[in-house]
Amino acid sequence: MSYRPWEMALGAVVLVVAAGFAAVLVWGSGQRPGLSQGAGHTLTASFRSAEGVRPGTEVRLAGVRVGSVTDLTLDADTFRAEVTLRIDAALSLPADSTAAVASEGLLGGTFIEIIPGGMPFDLEPGDAFQDTQSAVSLVQLMLRFATGGDGAEAGTATGAGEPTAESEGTP
């Protein structure tokens, strides 16, 4: 069976377009060759709330992707989310840098934002961020706005059910 030249050209165009779609899917998935194959170094961060963060979540510095989340676990002793990050090996971060859970907007995705510090010493592979900022829950913000309060329940403003001077009976 012989093929016409335009059929061969059309087949080639279809293959090129399919390869382009495959490249876009790989690029958009965050699985870039440099970071997904173990290049870079590992840092950890402990968050009170890591809402929206999962393995594969981007790590950004100044809006530029510099790594990804590789693991997310719960510390049973502190009840905090322990996040493991893989950062580009060429990047050295000051030891007082901050890791924050950030959002791209009201309906946008979540990412870890690194805010560099000013110390002359750098974080070494395996180190932990000393300063972290947890995710802000949009639902909690709306409830605070609607109720006009700070989210604390009556009678527990001094802490988690700690007795106050009035409840102890002291004058």
Give the tens place of pLDDT for each residue, 89-146: 888 898 899 999 888 877 778 899 999 988 888 888 888 888 888 877 777 778 888 8
The string over 18-41, giving b where at least 16 C-beta atoms fall within 10 Å of a residue's C-beta and e elsewhere, is: eeeeeeeeeeeeeeeeebeeeebb
Bridge partners for 170 per DSSP:
none
In the prediction, which pLDDT does 28 show?
Answer: 61
In the prediction, which pLDDT does 38 show?
Answer: 57
Helix, strand, coil shares of the chain, percent, nearest 5, are 25, 30, 45
pLDDT digits (tens, 9 = 90+) for 37-65: 457 889 999 999 888 889 988 999 998 99
Q: β-strands 64-75, 58-61: how paired?
A: antiparallel
In whole angstroms, what is the distance from residue 141 CA to residue 147 CA?
10
